[in-house]
């Protein structure tokens, strides 16, 4: 009886093992967080009247993962405040404040920084970075590259200044351009950007964000070791706009930020796709790569044909500079009349403009997802409509 019971038990175990379900496959790792970043310009609070309040009112603050404050300056190889009055000194009125509370003489932190504190309190998931450099503020990087450790310490001390310590979650480097020419020329060498970023990473540690903007021009991309630079940062932001424009002495119309090439493009490789391909080819991981979308248009005047490639007599008039206008103005004044290379263009009278629309931005976002890129960013938020139509499309 005992033997038969044991045999029966063994048979039950064998049958149970045969009928047991197979071990479930492990769930795939969740995809990396997609970055949706937007630049907020320090000077926007003046003539443009675009304030931190607008970031909240437009709905942008609820969509952005990161806000980049542009720009601090690099002076003598050290980080410095760009405009102290706009940044933290100017009293903000109740009508211009994010919470309708005016700054007073007793307000410890005023200006944009004070408003950013309030924005961060209302949107605790929003990360804010202080960006240094820019087109007119990059000359000091040449000196910074000679002593990256001293540069990094100056940036750390400034960002951790007790007056606003805790406001910024990291630093963004907008060097235009390392080992190449922008408004001025730099000859710091191929490793210059990587060395500066490595010093920042060592100083700020792994808990802070360290990011950098890189050119859209594929020739300038070859001037530095971007693989080494990418190893030091959370992401690199490719400035994929201004490939063409009347301000660049181009005498024929062309879209300033085409996604793809098209027949008759004035310069091969002047597309978002070509820039992305080059960055990936140079060893930048796709998850660490963002590309930018301009919230503005580039325009010509004296144009007699609606199609791209027409002759022009010069830059079209713009509110703040010739040949350039915000999307929020162009959308009503000179609406799109066609698309080319994945972006839009418009002819109104003798003027011809190119710019991205919500529809073309959705196409660019789809492209970014198809390449498994880390995300996208906007330059810059003040060009959008008051209800944030472009950023909504960019949030995809």
Q: How far is CA 55 from CA 116, 215, 303, in A?
A: 10, 26, 36
pLDDT of residue 11 exceeding 50: no
pLDDT of 23 reads 31
- The pLDDT of residue 235 is 98
pLDDT at 247: 73
Is residue 124 pLDDT above 60, yes or no? yes
Tally of CA atoms within 13 A in the half-sphere of 374 that contains its CB: 24
Does residue 248 surpass a pLDDT of 60?
Answer: yes
User: Is residue 112 helix, strand or coil?
Assistant: helix
Mention every residue, 6+ apart, whose C-beta is less than 8 A from residue 113.
Answer: 87, 88, 163, 164, 167
Catalytic hit among 25, 27, 96, 176:
176
pTM here is 0.91
DSSP codes joined into one string, 25-72: PPPPPPPPPPEEEEEEEGGGGSTT---HHHHHHTTHHHH-SEEEEEEE
Domains of the chain with CATH codes: 33-295+357-395 (3.20.20.80)
| Cβ contact 291:276 at 8 Å | yes
- Residues paired with residue 205 on neighbouring β-strands, in sequence order: none
The residues near 276 (Cβ < 8 Å, ≥ 6 apart) are 238, 240, 289, 291, 371, 373
pLDDT, tens digit (0-9, with 9 covering 90-100), for 12-34:
333 343 343 333 333 333 345 89
Mean pLDDT of the chain: 92
Q: Which residues contact 330 (CB under 8 A, 6 or more apart)?
A: 297, 346, 353, 355
Predicted confidence at residue 24, as pLDDT, reads 33
pLDDT at 392 over 60: yes
The whole-number pLDDT of residue 10 equals 39
Q: Is the dihedral of CA 326, 332, 338, 339 positive or negative?
A: positive
Whether residue 176 lies in the annotated active site = yes
CA distance linking residue 253 with residue 317, whole number of Å: 15
378 pLDDT tier (thresholds 50, 70, 90): very high
Distances 178 to 7, 243, 308 between C-alpha atoms, Å: 79, 18, 32
- pLDDT for the residue numbered 331: 97
Digit-coded pLDDT (tens) for 350-369: 999 999 999 999 999 999 99
**Residue 74 predicted with pLDDT over 70:** yes
- Range in 5-19, 48-62, 113-127, 212-226 the model is least confident about: 5-19
pLDDT band at 70 (very low <50, low <70, confident <90, very high): very high
pLDDT in tens, 193-237: 999 999 999 999 999 999 999 999 999 999 999 999 999 999 999
Q: What pLDDT shows up at residue 33?
A: 81
Residue 114 is predicted with a pLDDT of 98
């Amino acid at each position: 009886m005992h033997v038969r019971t044991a045999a029966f038990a063994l048979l039950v175990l064998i049958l149970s093992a045969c009928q047991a379900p197979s071990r479930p496959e492990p769930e795939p790792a969740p995809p990396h967080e997609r970055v949706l970043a937007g630049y907020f310009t320090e000077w926007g609070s003046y003539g443009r009247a675009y304030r931190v309040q607008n970031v909240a009112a437009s709905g942008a603050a609820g969509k952005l993962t990161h806000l980049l404050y542009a720009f601090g300056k690099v002076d003598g190889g050290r980080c410095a405040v760009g405009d102290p009055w706009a940044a933290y000194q100017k009293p903000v009125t109740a009508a211009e404040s994010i919470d309708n509370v005016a700054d007073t003489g007793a307000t410890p932190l005023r200006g944009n920084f004070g408003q950013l504190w309030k924005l961060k309190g209302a949107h605790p998931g929003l990360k804010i970075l202080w960006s240094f450099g820019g087109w007119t503020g990059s000359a000091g990087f040449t000196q910074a590259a000679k002593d990256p450790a001293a540069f990094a310490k100056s940036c750390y001390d400034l960002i951790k200044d007790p007056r606003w310590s805790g406001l910024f979650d990291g630093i963004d480097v907008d060097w235009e351009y390392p080992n190449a020419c922008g408004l001025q020329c730099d000859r710091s060498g191929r490793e210059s950007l990587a060395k500066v970023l490595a010093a920042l990473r060592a100083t700020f540690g792994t808990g802070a964000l360290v990011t950098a903007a890189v050119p859209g021009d594929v020739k300038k991309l070859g001037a530095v070791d971007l693989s080494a630079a990418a190893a030091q940062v959370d992401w690199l932001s490719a400035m994929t706009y201004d490939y063409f424009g009347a301000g660049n002495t181009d005498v024929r119309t062309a879209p300033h930020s085409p996604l793809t090439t098209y027949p008759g493009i004035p310069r091969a490789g002047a597309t978002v796709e070509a820039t992305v391909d080059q960055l990936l080819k140079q060893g930048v991981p796709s998850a660490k790569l963002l590309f930018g979308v301009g919230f503005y248009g580039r325009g010509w005047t004296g144009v007699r044909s609606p199609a791209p490639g027409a002759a022009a007599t010069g830059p079209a008039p713009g509110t703040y500079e010739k040949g350039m206008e915000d999307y929020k103005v162009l959308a009503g004044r000179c609406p799109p009349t066609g698309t080319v290379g994945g972006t839009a263009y418009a002819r109104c009278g003798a003027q011809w403009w190119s710019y991205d629309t919500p529809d073309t931005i959705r196409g660019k976002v789809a492209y970014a997802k198809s390449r498994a890129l880390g995300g996208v960013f906007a330059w810059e938020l003040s060009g959008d409509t008051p209800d944030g139509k472009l950023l909504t499309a960019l949030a995809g």
